[in-house]
Amino acid sequence: MKLDFNRDAFLRHFQIAAMVAPTRSPKAILQNVKLAASTNTLEIMANDTEVGVKLMVPGVEVKQPGEAVIPVSRLSMILRESNDDTMSISSQENKILITGKSSKFQLLGQNPEEFPDVESIEDGEFYEVASHVMKELIKRTLFATDTESSRYQLGGVLLEFEEGKLTAVGTDGRRLAKMEGPMKTVGKPEGAGTTIVPARSMQLIERMLPEGDEVVKIVPKGNKLLIGEPNGIFKTQLVEGRFPRWRDVIPNRNTSTKITLPVGPFYSALRQAAIVTNEESRGIDFTFDQGTVVLSNQTAEVGESRIEMPVTYDGAATTIALDNRYVADFLKVLAPDTMFTLDIQGSDQAAYCSTEDKYGYVIMPVQKGK
């Protein structure tokens, strides 16, 4: 194998693969990436026991087709430390030569035939969603998962496949985020209903997917999920266990108070009110009364804050205490000019935030003084 490549383009794809490759493994070959070069095409692969990825790398001139398995840690350091725009890789048996304009490195590789492949997606049997939709589904739900809980199912994002609709849900038991997006079903995919995808896998999928309207293919297949886009394939094991009955958590109230709020100004007021919070006191009071909302907090060791902003509300005074971190997480994934609806009913019931593009977020209130 022999090829010349654009270092920046190669590095962007390599970094995704490097996140998949384990730093330690009983199978030493998994601590490598595999390069497979054919005529004017280069694929980079990484695999561990749960996750695998295969990416097409642009900006490559293949001078001699072939394969090579290269240590992730060493290749990573070479690519990061080099200042060259273009570099070269060549391999012969188990020796890998990496050269730049004024640098040369020789590494020991391993047998490419022993590296586990990442399977392809067969034509005609998959779910189809636009890349930007999938990325938004992940961004708006991933933060709400709980990667430290002993309830492993909370450490993943639920995907529900329905006719014409893909729903993603993340929860840690104290808040819940759900997002819907349009989806097309092609053929009869093997998997149906729901799957729980590990949070780490979702993070990698979001990084791998391109911006825009590129078509993403999704195939649930037994205890794993395949994600395909024009320049790559991602494979992940699924989380076992039963996801909470999330629909039971979404409030359906007729007598609640609903206030429309702008994300940008409200987030600014929240950040100011949160200045005096600490680890023991993160509950901020949100008091709505006759055209204003007051965000206030009092912490014995720090002090007090009181931030007021105008809102479209003319009802009776109502107050709810919410964890500022959970409110901020919701606001951070939305554009500043977005409007959202805050649905509250008393100080002891869950608050529900929603947007017009079918994004919903449930937050349990903070019970102060208890």
Domains of the chain, each with CATH number or no CATH: 2-114 (3.10.150.10), 126-247 (3.10.150.10), 250-363 (3.10.150.10)
Residues 272-293 have a mean pLDDT of: 90
Q: pLDDT digit string (tens) for 99-121?
A: 999 899 999 999 999 999 998 88
Nearest to 128 by CA among 172, 72, 184, 79: 184
Contact 68, 109 (CB under 8 A): yes
pLDDT of residue 319: 95
Q: What residue type is assigned to position 245 of the chain?
A: R
Neighbouring C-beta atoms of residue 339, cutoff 10 Å: 12
Torsion angle in degrees (nearest 10) through CA of 73, 74, 80, 81? 140
Please report where in the chains the tokens 């039963």 appear, as a residue: 242
What pLDDT sits at residue 115? 94
Q: Give yes or no for a contact between 265 and 349, defined as CB atoms under 8 angstroms apart.
A: no
The C-alpha atoms of residue 63 and residue 87 are separated, in whole angstroms, by 13
**59-88: string of b/e by CB count within 10 Å (b at 16+)?**
bbebeeebbbbbbbeebbebbeebeeeebb
| Segment 334-360, tens digit of pLDDT | 999 999 999 999 899 999 999 999 999
CA distance 224 to 235: 7
- Which residue in this structure is represented by tokens 């709020």? 261
Q: How many whole angstroms separate alpha carbon 196 and alpha carbon 169?
A: 9
Mean of all residue pLDDT scores within the chain: 92
Return the pLDDT at 119. 86
Q: Which residues of 136-160 are buried (b: 16+ CB within 10 A; e: fewer)?
A: bbbbbbbbbbbeeeeeebbbbbbbb
261-280 confidence digits (pLDDT tens): 999 999 999 999 999 988 77
Q: Are 176 and 249 in contact (CB under 8 A)?
A: yes
pLDDT tens digits, 144-187? 998 776 667 888 999 999 989 999 999 999 999 999 999 999 88
Kindly report, residue by residue over 11-45, the tens digit of the pLDDT.
Answer: 999 999 999 999 888 889 999 999 999 987 899 99
Sheet of strand 303-310: strand arrangement: 303-310, 292-299, 283-289, 318-323
CA distance 128 to 226: 12
Residue 84's nearest CA partner among 155, 9, 158 is: 9
Provide, rounded to the nearest whole percent, the portion of the chain with pLDDT above 90.
77
pTM of the complete model beyond 0.85: yes
Helix (H) or strand (E) holding 158: strand 156-162
User: pLDDT tens, 320-339?
Assistant: 999 999 999 999 999 999 99
pLDDT band at 192 (very low <50, low <70, confident <90, very high): low
CA distances from 184 to 168, 209, 218, 239, 289 (A): 15, 18, 10, 24, 45
Over residues 306-313, the mean pLDDT reads 96
Give me the pLDDT at residue 369, please.
55
**How many percent of the chain have pLDDT more than 70?**
98
Residue 88's identity, in one-letter code, is S
Cβ contact 305:297 at 8 Å: yes
* pLDDT at residue 370 tops 50: no
